A = this chain, B = another copy of it.
């Protein structure tokens, strides 16, 4: 039988994309991540080659390789995969995530806000604008399947605004 593996967030990202987009190559997954989840959960493209392999080993997806030419691999979610995905989305989480903000870590350890703040502030400004842009596009076009992504964007916007306000404030000597 197929060996058992632990499913990580990366696993669910792959499964989720495969369910939403149908059979895909790692490169297609990469594109998918870039325009969707990648906005708040990024991963290097190598993961999108490695992870489907792992998932295939355990039967959550099937792997299909071209016999000819570039020998591209295409992955498709299986029923087992769909079950795992649904079980995961149905379960509430145990704990809140850490902020894990390196800039904040520096401030914690005494970094000068005037140094750390301004670039940070600029990036959040850009991020907010970008999120709002995507949100506009998704809410006008984009059907009911855009519900999750839209909500996600909304949290992204609100959190980014909070961060923006913070870095703005501490950038000017308190």
User: How many copies of the shown chain assemble into the complex?
Assistant: 2
CB neighbors of B among A3-46 (8 A): 9, 12-13, 16, 19-20, 36-37, 40-42
> Given that A89-B110, A109-B16, A116-B93 are contacting pairs, would A101 and B40 also be in contact in the complex, using a CB cutoff of 8 Å?
yes
Given the complex, which residues of B lie within 8 Å of A112, measured CB to CB?
A: 89-90
Interface positions of A from 35 to 77, Cβ below 8 Å from B: 36-37, 40-42
Q: State whether the Cβ of A115 lies closer than 8 Å to any Cβ in chain B.
A: yes
Q: In whole angstroms, what is the CA distance A95 to B106 when docked?
A: 14
- With the chains together, A102 CA to B88 CA distance in Å? 10
Are A40 and B166 touching (Cβ within 8 A)?
no
Summarize A's interface: helix, strand, loop or mixed: helix
CB-based contact B9/A105 at 8 Å: yes
Complex CA gap A88/B124 in Å reads 21
User: Are A158 and B151 in contact (CB-based, < 8 A)?
Assistant: no
Please report the C-alpha to C-alpha distance between residue A91 and residue B133 in the assembled complex, in whole angstroms.
31
When the two chains form their complex, are residues A119 and B92 in contact, meaning their CB atoms are under 8 A apart? yes
Interface contact B154-A108, CB-CB below 8 Å: no
- Rounded to whole angstroms, the CA-CA distance of A156 and B22 in the bound complex is 39
Does A90 contact B110, Cβ atoms closer than 8 Å? no
Chain A residues close to B by CB (< 8 Å): 9, 12-13, 16, 19-20, 36-37, 40-42, 85, 88-90, 92-93, 95-113, 115-116, 118-120, 123-124, 127, 145, 147-149, 151-152, 154-156, 158-159, 161-163, 165-166, 170
Closest 6 CB pairs of A and B: A89-B111, A16-B109, A40-B99, A162-B162, A158-B162, A108-B152
